[in-house]
Amino acid sequence: MIIAVPKEIKSGENRVAITPEVTSKLTKKGFEVLIEKNAGNKAGFTNEHYEKAGGKILNSAKEIFEKGEIILKVQRPQLNEELNQHELDLMKEGQLLISFMYALHYPQDAVKCAEKKVNVISMDMIPRTTLAQRMDALSSQANIAGYKSVILCANHLGKIFPMMMTAAGTIQPARVVIMGAGVAGLSALGTAKRLGAIVEVSDIRPTVKEEVESLGGRFIEVETTENMQDERGYAKQASEEFLKKQKEIISKHVANADIVITTALVPGKKAPILVTEEMVKSMRPNSVILDMATEFGGNCELSENGKTIIKYGVTIIGEPNLPSLVPYHASDMYAKNLLNLIEYTSKDGVFNLNMEDEIIKGSTIVKDGKIVNDRINQILNQ
């Protein structure tokens, strides 16, 4: 089968779906690999790297979509302004698209794929099971996002992170509050601790307390009898009563923080507001907030998607695509997630879209012209 990799065209996207290393492994497994010219340049992978690995470079996206049987992307399909065509309009019946689709937030993309009879595996729908861990692209990219969030905040903060005892006096360590103890939050916690900060972490799931403390963080506990975790292990949408209680407790910690990093997302829903305008007002001048959820509405009431702004003396970073700021390793990890998925379900260079398999069934959103994911259908029927 022919695997084809177009250049990512979404503004600010520097990643590429596969690397030369993964290209080499796929060709050895019997696949033909086509890469659009300069697709890997922003991530540090040249056309020559791909050719040496056994890939073939094609000059245009049109050729890529025409010849590929499996299309590998990072971002969901976009409008190609150069061709004045949407990427989905370049695709044809029977092709398999594998990328992040976020179809719970963008269900109309699934509708269009079904109309085109393009089969789709969405990498953000990979089940959270032991068997699927090696394919879990959400986690691999969230790991990088957590790391980069702290580095960005450190850049904007007019202070250093660690305690320092000098002849001129003692410098107190920076105080960091992280909201959300998923993969991104725990990665941010580990990075901030390595830099020497005091780190406090809030999460609506009491079950993550042990993980937070094992990494040296202090857990901000909000007592509740609600079940805050869905069957996939992700945080559920909390009740208004719980969110009000959480905000009352969190506000005291936010007021004393130098940095606040928010990571809370609810699949298919608008991101919950965790940092209100009043909380921002209470923060020290020159402190920093980084909101990871800006693409889906934002956790901070004042954050703006894709912008860094200053309000009430506080810098608020609304960077929607942190992994893209570390494109070499983000691409490397994503490509390996894709390789693991392809190896798992392929034999002799042929991909088997086996809907009896738990991982394939959980991550496939469109097959043979039908949307096969119940949650997406529920959203469309509302």
Distance (Å, whole) CA 201 – CA 199: 7
Where b means 16+ CB within 10 Å and e means fewer, 200-220 reads bbbbbbeebbebbeebebbbb
Q: Are 242 and 222 in contact (CB under 8 A)?
A: yes
The residues carrying an active-site annotation are 128, 133, 136, 139, 234
Where b means 16+ CB within 10 Å and e means fewer, 98-136 reads bbbbbbbbebebbebbbebbbbbbbbbbbbeeeebeebb
Which residue reads 């980069």 in tokens? 148
- Residue 122 tokens, joined: 């969405």
Neighbours of 253 (CB within 10 A): 18
- Residue 124 tokens, joined: 């953000």
Q: How far is CA 155 from CA 76, 137, 186, 318, 329, in A?
A: 30, 27, 20, 15, 20
Q: Residue by residue, what is the 3-state secondary structure of 63-78? A: HHHHHCCEEECCCCCC
